[in-house]
Amino acid sequence: MKFFILLLFALPQTAFAHCPMELNVDGKSYCSEITWLDGDKKVQGKLEPTTELSPQLVLMGEIPQKWVYSRAEFSFWEKGDASHTPQIIDNLRIFPYMHMENGHHHSTSYEYAWLNETAEISAVALQEMRGCWSFRWTKENHDTLEDSEFLMNIEGYNNLSDEKNSEMSDFCTSVGSGGGHGGHHHNH
Ligand SMILES: [Cu+2]
């Protein structure tokens, strides 16, 4: 009697080619993926790591010593590249932006750097307001709505309940933080 061993080969990765976020930079299509990292706290004016996973919403009235500054890294690859070979996109900057219920919109302070083929944004105090935080990208040296493109809404705060998070993401949809793009998402 012969026994055959059936080997199950993984389907080629292309079957799973995905593109969590798509951005078109200088006529070229890239995909990007965010990885949230542990946030920082300010101790005597200096940022020090915490074990609290970003994103963290800085609640209204919270004393600054307790604020957790959010941190994340973004990786980029050429759209359709199943191996996700990391790409560094010259002069690309990602920044936090808020669209408010009253129609105002504004940025906030942050730090940004390219590190080992990923872009890291940190020191972002995502303060609770009647509005919705998002990330946008630009190649300009200023952070304005006009000269940037919507990347993603910031959702799923780790210091909020599921219920509160889902209220907030409904709110984001209604505020339409996608700017000129009507808040649509890329779910390809
Ligand atoms: Cu605001």
- In whole angstroms, give the CA distance from residue 66 to residue 85: 38
Which secondary-structure segment (H or E) carries 122?
strand 118-124
pLDDT of residue 18: 86
Domain that holds residue 68: 18-178
CA dihedral defined by 132, 134, 140, 143, rounded to 10 degrees?
A: 30
- Count of structural domains, the chain: 1
Average pLDDT per 10 consecutive residues for the chain, totaling 188 residues: 49 65 96 98 96 98 96 97 94 96 94 95 96 96 95 96 94 70 39
Which secondary-structure segment (H or E) carries 13?
none
Residue 96 lies in a domain: yes
CA of 102 to the centre of ligand 1 (A): 9
**CA dihedral over 46, 50, 56, 58, signed as positive or negative:** negative
Beta strands 149-153 and 131-138 are antiparallel
Cα R_g (the chain), whole angstroms: 19
CA of 179 to the centre of ligand 1 (A): 15
Residue 41 lies in a domain: yes
CA of 32 to the centre of ligand 1 (A): 26
Residue 4 lies in a domain: no
pLDDT of residue 2: 52
Which residues are within 5 Å of ligand 1 (an ion), measured at CB? 98, 100, 129, 131
Number of H helices, E strands in the chain: 1, 12
- In whole angstroms, give the CA distance from residue 88 to residue 69: 25
pLDDT of residue 28: 96
Residue 111 lies in a domain: yes
CA of 87 to the centre of ligand 1 (A): 32
